[in-house]
Chains A and B, each alone.
Chain A
Amino acid sequence: GIQVEQSPPDLILQEGANSTLRCNFSDSVNNLQWFHQNPWGQLINLFYIPSGTKQNGRLSATTVATERYSLLYISSSQTTDSGVYFCAVEADTGNQFYFGTGTSLTVIP
């Protein structure tokens, strides 16, 4: 299966700071999504982004499919951004989804 690596594993930010989370994957994909798992365990879909760039408010994401990585940008972080951010991919040769181990973000006031 596809290997999905996320970095950094842990991140602590002061409220208002910006951050970049990275997802590297080992094979070609036809589906890449970013999720936020809040402290209550609910997974929230942030972006469907197998290639290109998207923005949604303070969040934006860029996937460079040819180089097999994706970046999630969080600007002006808020305490409600705390939680774990996951990248998930589906290979273009199959139907299984593979999640990374996540980046745990803590935003302190």
Chain B
Amino acid sequence: DTGVSQNPRHKITKRGQNVTFRCDPISEHNRLYWYRQTLGQGPEFLTYFQNEAQLEKSRLLSDRFSAERPKGSFSTLEIQRTEQGDSAMYLCASSPGTSGSIQSQYFGAGTRLSVL
């Protein structure tokens, strides 16, 4: 068990470009979450998956954002036509299950996005 893995760790892009981030959850964790964190703030929920199904999306997730989790394993978060306001740390977390203490979330190290 190597923990939640996120790639890349850092991404610098120009405004208007598309970017894609990857998250590999802990093996056999069936819940996967995406968050965004800006400096001095707590993480903001974006979306979550139960296996391959995307069950909840925040209003923060504009139509430029899309997330997938094919086959219920790794997940990708794509941002199209990036804007400077998208600059943030993007965090992924996973949890083993849906009830009791197995809802505990385990976070990856994040992908820091800078939009120039």
Interface residues of A (CB under 8 A from B): 4, 31, 33, 35, 40-45, 48, 86, 88, 90, 94-102
Contact = CB atoms under 8 A, between A and B. Distances in A.
Given A94-B56, A95-B56, A101 B105 contact: no
B104 A102 contact: no
A43 B104 CA distance: 12
B109 interface: yes
5 contacts: A33-B105, A43-B107, A45-B104, A88-B42, A101-B42
B67 interface: no
Given A96-B45, A97-B105, A99-B44, 16 more contacts: A4-B42, A33-B104, A33-B105, A43-B93, A45-B106, A48-B103, A88-B42, A94-B56, A95-B55, A96-B56, A97-B48, A98-B45, A99-B35, A101-B40, A101-B41, A102-B42
B90 to A, nearest CB: 12
Contacts of B110: 41
Given A95-B48, A95-B55, A95-B56, A43 B101 contact: no
Nearest to B100: A48
B43 A45 contact: no
Contact of A41 (B35, B42, B109): B109
Contacts of B101: 48
A8 B89 CA distance: 24
B67 to A, nearest CB: 14
Contact of B109 (A42, A45, A48, A95): A42
A97 B45 contact: yes
Contacts of A4: 42
Contacts of B56: 94-96
Given A95-B48, A97-B33, A99-B42, A48 B104 contact: yes
A100 B42 contact: yes
